[in-house]
Copies of this chain bind each other. A is one copy, B any other.
Amino acid sequence: MTERLDRIIEFLEVGDGLKAVERAGYLSDGSRHETDSDHTWHMALFALLLAGETGVDLDLGRVLSMVLIHDMVEIFAGDVVVYDVAAREAAKEREREAAERLYGILPGDLRDHLQGLWEEFEERKTQEAQFARALDRLQAFAQNVIAGGKSWRERGITREVSAEVNREVRDSFPVLTAAFETLQQRADRQQLWAAPATGTPKQQGLPPDRDQSTL
């Protein structure tokens, strides 16, 4: 028991690092950037409130478990989801190494369980994973809206770029489509995005080295 518990406690201690990983988005009062722990807690709250609205019988414990650990590799790998395919593949490799290191702290059965949850999430293997992935984007989108678009404008993110990034998850579940729609209308009314560039091709598509998870 003792060695097993020591490993669990060490993992929980390493987990404290998630509170220090800063994201591009801001709190709604603009006072500081969101952290990965803020985002993860909030995303879990989205899951708790919206799972029952999907019309699908989702395993809430499994959804929440995936949500809770989905960004933990960033404790070692940093917040690294970038736009071009080569860089994305490199980030994926770094995250896979981070996952080995992170989950390797745990006793074998718990390592397999958590690494399995992370892979389920990354590979969208189940409806629970598809729901959790969509919430990862929805929370980030909502956070940008409630923070008045501060991060969008700072980073030159236009309505079109934002829509492109969320396209793959927007239609995953009807209630999430409706939530994106509601928030997008609010962003339109308040003109929260960066203005589209006129004639300069560098504003077309995603800017380089941008964390897509926060668009």
Contacts and interface: CB of A to CB of B under 8 A. Distances in A.
Contacts of A68: 41, 44-45, 48, 64
A84 interface: no
Nearest to A175: B5
A53 interface: yes
A54 interface: no
A31 interface: yes
Nearest to A146: B13
Report the contact-size class of chain A (Cβ under 8 Å from the partner). 35 or more
Contacts of A60: 61, 64-65
A11 B49 contact: yes
A133 B120 CA distance: 30
Nearest to A13: B146
Given A27-B19, A37-B37, A110 B143 contact: no
Interface string A48-84: 1110110000011100110011000000000000000
A29 B5 CA distance: 23
A34 B35 CA distance: 12
A12 interface: yes
B50 A8 contact: yes
A34 B20 CA distance: 10
Interface in A70-113: 106, 110
The 10 nearest A-B residue pairs measured at CB: A61-B61, A60-B61, A41-B41, A37-B41, A64-B64, A19-B38, A16-B28, A37-B38, A40-B41, A13-B146
Interface of A: 1-2, 4-6, 8-9, 11-13, 15-20, 27-29, 31, 34-35, 37-38, 40-42, 44-46, 48-50, 52-53, 59-61, 64-65, 68-69, 106, 110, 142-143, 146, 175, 178-179, 182-183
